[in-house]
């Protein structure tokens, strides 16, 4: 759908870690939080591969305001459910306090197949992302839109970097989740596809080769949803606040619509050398918004905030048409002034790692939003 055709619906999945309210250590008690939260959220809350994680989902939304409302509601209900169990939930890409690996894996035959297939990779699954779905019903068009989005993926990492810690130490990276995740055989930037049939052929080859348990374990940072008529962007750490998740999703939708217009005009997707894409991912994960990023497809180092500003400007017509431009610009201004999530975690950790967890608890669901 183009800009003139109206705003496509979009939705978000957010993943959170459960921590003990007293010790701030990650706690394998997700099932208790989910059971209580379902009383109010129903099927908008669910589990994940490990017992440390909880996921919330929005319904498809037409506006970023509606999306933000559902995200804030989901976080508030989740926080209230956790508090009733003597627990807390935090929006961070990686654990801050407690042993990160190996996490306790949720029981089930599918999980058992995953452990048999991926082995030691399952040791690093206690990580949390945000996934944005944007309606693109035509699968051929969707894969071509994905081709155009590929060069933007590293910049989206810089905007959402929120995972500096692993095993109670500072990794020196802004998004350590990105680094750990890309060890998987079906993660990271997807290939360039000629058509939906080409996409299906590649996925089928990977299934046949045993690189996936099933279609749900296709972990590319852009993929066609297996259940919805959407293009799913999965590249980002879960942001600290609901406001940031809503702004990020609005930007992604704007980029999808902008890319769709380019596809409709018959413009080819930019060609990016694999070594430069890998370099850009690494630099984005290391520096976040505070450092430099790789300008694709050329490869020149540019201040990350400049790359982010250019990305927002590229989607400006769509963002303005959908009423999202101020929301996204305000978010970018906050990142420039206060730093990304990783920077804020480190700032809070000046008072110790437990202080960083307290900061995350407060950011994930502010106290006023959890009061009933």
What residue ranges define each of the domains in the chain, with the CATH number in brackets? 3-370 (3.30.590.20)
Beta carbons of 23 and 38 less than 8 angstroms apart: no
CB atoms within 10 A of CB 320: 14
Q: Please, is 311 exposed, middle or buried when counting C-beta atoms within 10 Å of its C-beta (0-12, 13-18, 19+)?
A: buried
Q: What is the pLDDT along the chain (372 residues), one digit of tens a residue?
A: 445 567 999 999 999 999 999 999 999 999 999 999 999 999 999 999 899 999 999 999 999 999 999 999 999 999 999 999 999 999 999 999 999 889 988 888 888 888 888 898 888 999 999 999 999 999 999 999 999 999 999 999 999 999 999 999 999 999 999 999 988 889 999 999 999 999 999 999 999 999 988 888 899 999 999 888 999 999 999 999 999 999 999 999 999 999 999 999 999 999 999 999 999 999 999 999 999 999 999 999 999 999 999 999 999 999 999 999 999 999 999 999 999 999 999 999 999 999 999 999 999 998 755 544
Cβ count within 10 A of residue 333: 10
H/E stretch holding 368: helix 367-370
Bridge-partner residues for 292, per DSSP?
303
pTM of the model: 0.95
Distance CA 36, CA 77 (A): 9
CA distances from 264 to 94, 195, 217, 233, 257 (A): 39, 14, 31, 20, 10
Q: Are 17 and 126 in contact (CB under 8 A)?
A: yes
Place of tokens 């894996």: 105
Contact 346, 165 (CB under 8 A): no
Half-sphere exposure at residue 19, Cβ-oriented, CA atoms within 13 angstroms: 28
Q: Which residue has the tokens 């799913």?
A: 232
Give the dihedral sign, CA 37/39/42/47: positive
3-state secondary structure of 216: helix
């Amino acid at each position: 759908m183009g800009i003139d055709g109206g705003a496509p619906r979009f939705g978000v999945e957010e993943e959170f870690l459960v921590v003990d309210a007293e010790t701030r250590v990650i706690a394998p008690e997700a099932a208790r939080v989910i059971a209580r939260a379902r009383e109010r959220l129903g099927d908008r809350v669910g589990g994940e591969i490990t017992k440390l994680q909880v996921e919330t989902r929005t319904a498809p939304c037409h506006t970023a305001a509606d999306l933000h409302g559902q995200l804030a509601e989901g976080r508030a209900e989740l926080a209230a459910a956790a508090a009733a169990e003597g627990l807390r939930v935090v929006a961070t890409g990686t654990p801050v306090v407690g042993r990160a690996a190996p996490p306790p894996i949720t029981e089930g035959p599918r999980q058992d197949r995953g452990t048999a297939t991926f082995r030691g990779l399952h040791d690093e699954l206690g990580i949390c992302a945000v996934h944005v779905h944007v309606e693109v019903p035509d699968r051929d068009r969707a894969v071509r839109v994905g081709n155009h989005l590929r060069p933007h993926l590293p910049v989206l990492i810089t905007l959402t970097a929120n995972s500096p810690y692993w095993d109670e130490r500072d990794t020196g990276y802004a998004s350590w989740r990105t680094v750990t995740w890309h060890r998987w055989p079906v993660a990271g930037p997807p290939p360039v596809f000629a058509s939906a049939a080409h996409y299906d052929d590649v996925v089928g080859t990977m299934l046949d080769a045993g690189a996936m348990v099933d279609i749900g374990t296709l972990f590319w940072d852009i993929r066609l949803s297996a259940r919805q008529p959407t293009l799913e962007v999965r590249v980002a750490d879960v942001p600290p606040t609901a406001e940031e998740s809503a702004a990020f999703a609005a930007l992604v939708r704007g980029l999808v619509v902008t890319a769709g217009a380019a596809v409709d005009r018959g413009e080819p997707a930019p060609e990016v050398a694999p070594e430069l894409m890998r370099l850009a991912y690494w630099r984005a994960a290391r520096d976040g918004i505070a450092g430099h990023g790789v300008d694709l497809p050329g490869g020149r180092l540019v201040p990350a905030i400049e790359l982010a500003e250019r990305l927002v400007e590229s989607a400006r017509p769509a963002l303005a048409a959908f009423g999202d431009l101020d929301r996204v610009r305000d978010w970018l201004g906050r990142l420039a002034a206060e730093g990304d999530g990783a920077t804020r975690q480190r700032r809070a950790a000046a008072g110790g790692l437990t202080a960083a967890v307290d900061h995350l608890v407060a950011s994930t669901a502010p106290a006023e939003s959890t009061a009933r």
